[in-house]
Structure 1
Amino acid sequence: MGQRVAYYRRRRGYSQAVLSGLVGRSEEWLSQIERGARDIDRLSTILEVAKALRIVPQRLLPGPFHTTPRQTQQSGTIGTAPDVVPDIETAMLRYDGIAGLVGITDPGPVNLGHLERQVELSFVCSQTEQWSRMAPLVPGMIADSYHASRQAVTDAEKRRAKTLEALVYRVTSGMLDRLGEPRLPWVAAERSMAAAEMTEDPLLIAGGAWRLAVVLRHSGRLTESTDVPTAAADALRRDDRNATPEHLSVYGSLMLKGAVGAASVNDHSAVRDYLSEVERTAERLGSDRNDFWFAFGPTNVSIHRVWLALELGDPSQAIDLADAVPLDQLPPELAERRVSHLITVAWAYYLRRRYREALDALTEARMAAPEQLIFTGRVHTMLSGMLRRERRSIKHDLRELSEFVGVAG
């Protein structure tokens, strides 16, 4: 990222003194960023630098991942998901408004039971970060959901088909987002929301809002990334007295997204308010659940507390809070939550220059969900930084993990 900042700074004709002044930082801070001695550790800071350079934030962020296949004992061949992205993009183009214009033929009745099983498998892959297993399913699911919606006759058939379409695009958006695609996650998230709205199912609509909030944040639209889930949560709150466990799970997940958005704009007070409501909801729920594949409950709230402390600029507090997270209570099918937490802890240690602990956390994460490390930009940043400041005590383990992830020494 430092190299990209330096490139666009020179292209704009700014000196380091000018750019550092525009973002309210010291010239030495910017110098350290550009030469790789320091990392930009918060999304809000990236947005400030991009605004000062008058560019979109995505130009400072890494592009889509390109990997080579590799074998693991647990997952078989991994790292192949990016190879399927062109086929997914083609399916998203073909099975939309232009389908009639390009002469897409009806393949015959869609087996909705089969499509439902594929959607469920895809969400399982999403929560266990098995992207190379899931990716080949996506083009066919997009095609089937398109045809199912157009073949439906009764209102019940239409709702069922649109429900599946909403879920197909939600899980697809999440995968494309993980792979670092810049445009497609947004398109998929909007299609998921549009299909959900046609079902008039408030929980499905809320799920679409949750996914859209993630895409908005990653695209740098921090205000909207808070407003969207909050508005959806407000709609669910109207029926709070009759809330089912599924209702509470979705509501709590939306409020967590509100807390994430507030932390990204450094609003400590709002973060506390959101967390207070989230904890109240988790207490009402009483246990960890996975309704609509949101994995909400007390454990996920604890995981988010660690992430929020880090996003608010306090890695030491994040390390302290991590000790209280009961990771052993998460079932194996929620590997993504476990590994996301371990990556957060590793990042906190990395920022404190405690590289042995950071590397140990990443090594543990690799055992649970190896593809998550391969397709997480923060992991690449950490490994690159540790390789630049390589210490003898971690040299062997660091180089072995870096080679697996695909980070050059």
Structure 2
Amino acid sequence: MPQTKPTTPGQRIRGLRLRRGYKQAELAELAGVSVDLVSALERDVRKGMSWASMVKLARALDVDPGVIAGKGSYLEPVPGAAALAVRDAVINPGLLPKMSPEGGQEQPDTAELWRRVESGYGAYFGGEFGVLAADLPDLIHRCRVLHSAERAAGAAVLAHAWQLAACVLVHTGRDDAAAIAAERAISVGQTGDDPYRLATMYGTYSWVMLHQGRLAEAEEIAIRTAEEIEPTMSRAVPNQLTAWGGLVLNAAVACGARGDRAQAEEYLSVARAGAARVGADRHDYWVSFGPSHVGVQTTHIMTALNRPDVALKASGTVRREDLLPVQWGRHRLNDARALLELHKSDAAEEAAAEAKAVSAEWFRHQGFARSVVDDLVDHRQRLSASLRDLVSVFEG
């Protein structure tokens, strides 16, 4: 009789634990969490956990956190859309020395490649991962051809193509390939002439490290890069502030994920001062920074630190019009988690439904969304039509 594939984080933890021959108490001790947490998760009495706990358990079990979260590829059936094709474009023998794009190929039009990159970010922030994945392999190839012919002209557009690959690979559960793509973005960015654009590529690498549970490294990369471009506020140009502020917020998120509230708040305070200088939220190099984004990350961090009251207070400073679609969706998931912790199930369900309305495709790629929905179900004796709709996203 075929074995049933584990479908909850607790079931995955149990399978990994048994495979390694650990008792629950031994795993709890190795991870530095309570045995009650391990037991509750494995019995599916509790389906959600903090990011910090998931990272600790993943490290003890020698897997990436995404394995426990159940990350994978659930792309919409767009012709040509395949996460493996993006992975293959990143881990590609053609990138080896002496294996660059063959000569004689027609040089792509730079303006057209920029239009495709712009469209790619539109798909990414709109939660259309299938659309993005379908275009990326060819986009990367054409950007490589351009960069081979004109290094200065092709550096920026190719760096962003690699960055887009890193982003979609993280969401489809291929964090190792995402790290390689982010490294390629940095390497290419160094051949360009914009230090602030290059800094945002380091920010992507830091974000990938965060998803791998490498929290101290994520913080170090972000803050060291931020220090290198730290602005003098009276003379800073706006795109410099955006690149710098995004990195400081990355460092704050990494600290919050590992439970270091004091350091996270210190970074948030620095970012808040920079955001006040920016004034209105900005989107430069497809990085966002400003007062609303400080509010978004404060909400995220305080939710992770189990301070739902502080999280929701920070959420009140966020303006929806300052956020791109999936940024708003992720923010509303944090709101939903905080509201659940305060036993406000109706409001939490409404927030989760708003998140799903951004993009069902994006929503089903979020382990955090599944955790929120599972806990909403546990809080209900009867499922509303809205909650049944949320559950259906993860079925099939």
Asked if 2 retains the 8 angstrom alpha-carbon contact of 1:64 and 1:182, the reply is no
Secondary structure of 2:295's aligned partner: helix
Q: 1:146 to 1:34 in 2, by over 3 A?
A: same
Correspondence for 2:348 = 358
TM-score (structure 2 length as normaliser): 0.90
User: Do structure 1's residue 176 and structure 2's residue 165 form an aligned pair?
Assistant: no
The partner residue of 1:5 within 13, 38, 41 is: 13
Identity of aligned residues (%): 23
Tell me how far apart the structure 1 counterparts of residues 359 and 252 of structure 2 sit (CA, whole Å): 26
Unpaired segments of 5 or more residues in structure 2?
1-8
User: Do structure 1's residue 213 and structure 2's residue 221 form an aligned pair?
Assistant: no
Q: 1:25 to 1:165 in 2, by over 3 A?
A: closer
Correspondence for 2:270 = 277
Asked if 2 retains the 8 angstrom alpha-carbon contact of 1:346 and 1:357, the reply is yes
Asked if 2 retains the 8 angstrom alpha-carbon contact of 1:255 and 1:278, the reply is yes
Question: CA shift at 1:285, angstroms?
Answer: 0.8
Count of matched residue pairs: 388
Looking at both structures, which has the greater relative contact order when contacts are Cα pairs under 8 Å and sequence separation is at least 6?
2
Tell me how far apart the structure 1 counterparts of residues 130 and 18 of structure 2 sit (CA, whole Å): 39
Tell me how far apart the structure 2 counterparts of residues 311 and 82 of structure 1 sit (CA, whole Å): 37
User: Do structure 1's residue 341 and structure 2's residue 331 form an aligned pair?
Assistant: yes
Correspondence for 1:260 = 253
Q: 1:13 to 1:353 in 2, by over 3 A?
A: farther
The partner residue of 1:376 within 324, 348, 366 is: 366
Asked if 1 retains the 8 angstrom alpha-carbon contact of 2:163 and 2:181, the reply is yes
- Whichever residue aligns with residue 380 of structure 1, its letter is R
Secondary structure of 1:170's aligned partner: helix
The partner residue of 1:367 within 330, 335, 357 is: 357
Secondary structure of 1:295's aligned partner: strand
Tell me how far apart the structure 2 counterparts of residues 81 and 351 of structure 1 sit (CA, whole Å): 41
Comparing 187-196 with 383-392, greater Cα deviation is found at 383-392
- Whichever residue aligns with residue 168 of structure 1, its letter is A
**What do residues 51-71 of structure 1 show as CA deviations (whole Å, max 9, x unaligned)?**
33455545423141235xxxx
**What do residues 176-212 of structure 1 show as CA deviations (whole Å, max 9, x unaligned)?**
2122223221111010010011214211210111100
Unpaired segments of 5 or more residues in structure 1?
68-77, 153-157
The partner residue of 1:396 within 385, 388, 395 is: 385
Tell me how far apart the structure 2 counterparts of residues 51 and 366 of structure 1 sit (CA, whole Å): 30
Asked if 2 retains the 8 angstrom alpha-carbon contact of 1:81 and 1:135, the reply is no
Secondary structure of 2:259's aligned partner: coil
Q: 1:91 to 1:272 in 2, by over 3 A?
A: closer
Tell me how far apart the structure 1 counterparts of residues 33 and 203 of structure 2 sit (CA, whole Å): 34
Correspondence for 1:406 = 394
Correspondence for 1:330 = 322
User: Do structure 1's residue 109 and structure 2's residue 125 form an aligned pair?
Assistant: no
The partner residue of 1:35 within 29, 34, 43 is: 43
Tell me how far apart the structure 1 counterparts of residues 395 and 192 of structure 2 sit (CA, whole Å): 44
Question: CA shift at 1:272, angstroms?
Answer: 1.6
Question: CA shift at 1:81, angstroms?
Answer: 8.8
Secondary structure of 1:343's aligned partner: helix
Q: 1:83 to 1:387 in 2, by over 3 A?
A: farther
Tell me how far apart the structure 1 counterparts of residues 297 and 148 of structure 2 sit (CA, whole Å): 40
Secondary structure of 1:341's aligned partner: helix
1:297-308 mapped onto 2 (5 Å cutoff): 297-308=290-301
Secondary structure of 2:213's aligned partner: coil
